[in-house]
Structure 1
């Protein structure tokens, strides 16, 4: 929305957010598709400073002369509001009917379904409910902010070593991977631990990945 607004030369009072993204704000009545007066009042947030909630296909402006020079686009090209990345993934993957499920294995990991009614996870509070691009559909989803990024860190840190010896011992063939990983973990010190990953390994087992004394880690 920020880039689109800059390309269209919008001022702050014309800021917008598409309805597939409002669940991330913490200020919205997602079921109604609007800002929550109750939440805003409780938090002391003036509703008149919030962006307008729009449909993803809403044309919010046109490419300005300056933006045309910067981006190599034709001036006057219409700019649509667009939607959030996961909402776009769902649409592109053909998630257009209730009962369908899709998985996103990117920097963030997402597992989501499709329903024709709003579902709030008030029991476990683990699922988000995203509005689909398609009116009347919803995507309840589990979201891990660093799923793919954590895997990349694991690869970069653990497998940058070439194992050409037998310092790790496996009890049997099925234990080979566990023994190899334990050996690799023992070679990672506090100095090489990327603290950014500590914030990505979320959930009840996050503590198992936090660095202990040098050479001592739990898996």
Structure 2
């Protein structure tokens, strides 16, 4: 008998990642398949759900033929995926249109409609363009003939799981990101939906570790898998990313820097309904745990843009090396990372980025330093607020692009004034999905026990109080950038429409 393993499948924005993990937490295989992004008009961001399915199937084939996977028995599968996206199905279960993604900002008018009726917050969350309710209203108002055919809506990873099982479900961590699920009662607020003309097109909601069907028989036969292999519900990418980093108990925190950036803190269910300040309140993939989350829309995206334009022939390592050499503050330079608007704390789709303090003596290394610091300041904005409402955050697990550089990890420790923990093996949300499958199979008595086996840390970066005080002085100037540039950047956007 070969090794027993579970699969975690993460549907990202740029790629699908598949991860095979053994019962003892050993990573056996990894496979990534790229995805296309469609941005037909400014502010639009869509993907083809059928391309997701094709990429998943190709990824499964490519993963299972890897030499190290020979003899491995796949005992369970689970999912994580990009949040907020809208997949509309007709009565036959086919997608009616491309999926509208989390970073699509076309729904500002729908946000204004919701705010006029319900105020700045709905069910503990700020009314912002990313959430699924705004997308449902956009389709209803702009594609009425298509809207009439809508029978069910799903979140992105739930559509992938449906392709694998033929069963339609969502789960609490993703449903809580729609602006239609009450995170305290864990039930759809259908009365709220009715206020905005949303019919009963809601999927059933189950726990993240619940079984949601079994493997498609035809695909299982093609792959050499058992058609009775259980498929578990899974979770939203931020919830699974936290789980896959061991962030599952009250006051556990994670800083994740991908395309967007997230500062996430766990708390027990039963807290206040909302915290204001554009902080999100959502259900974790762990039962009886919520999390509070601040979001920077253009975190890693800012760095990728900067490298593409200013370091096209150099590596990220070279860019960060020059950033480190520049020193704190990049010789008087501040960067506001609002390339695609901002979520926390401003909730403004129209704000755009800026460099402030440019002089003729600035080098490209200074600019690189400003970008890294600006991204970190944006996440610090959320941390300051959460500390102000009583969250005692002194230790943070760092993941994503910000965790690939010891320089940036130390910078996070100094800016946040917190210990920063580096994972030994960082597999992101796909690891959280794999853990949900392992727990769902009964391999471990709890997700905490699973985390003890699966999650390990290597280094801890401790804050330097002197450097923290210096960063605080720059942060106070950074904090003024939003108000100082808001009107100007909005006017510039209007000029582009002429």
Matches of 2:290 and 2:210 in 1, distance apart? Answer: 19
Deviation of residue 146 (structure 1)? 3.0
Contact 2:258 2:300 in 1 (8 A): yes
- Structure 2 residue 197 is the aligned partner of structure 1 residue 34: no
Matches of 1:175 and 1:93 in 2, distance apart? Answer: 29
Matches within 5 A, 1:73-152: 73-116=225-268, 117-124=270-277, 126-152=278-304
Aligned to 1:168: none
Note closer, same or farther for the CA distance 1:70–1:129 as it changes in structure 2 (3 Å cut). farther
Matches within 5 A, 1:1-219: 1-10=158-167, 15-47=168-200, 49-69=201-221, 73-116=225-268, 117-124=270-277, 126-160=278-312, 177=330, 198-199=339-340, 203=346, 206-209=351-354
Contact 1:68 1:74 in 2 (8 A): yes
Deviation of residue 141 (structure 1)? 0.5
Aligned to 1:169: none
* Structure 2, unaligned runs of 5 or more: 1-157, 315-325, 355-488, 493-498
Larger Rg over CA atoms: 1
Counting strand residues as a fraction of each chain, which structure ranks higher?
A: 2
* RMSD of equivalent CA atoms: 3.3
Note closer, same or farther for the CA distance 1:102–1:176 as it changes in structure 2 (3 Å cut). closer
Matches of 2:352 and 2:204 in 1, distance apart? Answer: 40
Matches of 2:328 and 2:249 in 1, distance apart? Answer: 43
Note closer, same or farther for the CA distance 1:149–1:71 as it changes in structure 2 (3 Å cut). farther
Matches of 1:201 and 1:122 in 2, distance apart? Answer: 18
Deviation of residue 201 (structure 1)? 5.6
Deviation of residue 72 (structure 1)? 5.6
Deviation of residue 199 (structure 1)? 2.3
Counting helix residues as a fraction of each chain, which structure ranks higher?
A: 2
Note closer, same or farther for the CA distance 1:67–1:200 as it changes in structure 2 (3 Å cut). farther
Matches of 1:22 and 1:81 in 2, distance apart? Answer: 12
Note closer, same or farther for the CA distance 1:76–1:161 as it changes in structure 2 (3 Å cut). closer
SS at match of 1:110: strand
Aligned to 1:165: none
SS at match of 2:184: coil
Deviations 1:64-92 (A, max 9, x none): 12222565643221110111111111112
* Structure 1, unaligned runs of 5 or more: 163-172, 183-196, 214-219
Deviations 1:17-52 (A, max 9, x none): 1101112212121211111022111011122x2111
Deviation of residue 160 (structure 1)? 2.0
**Between Structure 1 and Structure 2, how many residues are aligned?**
183
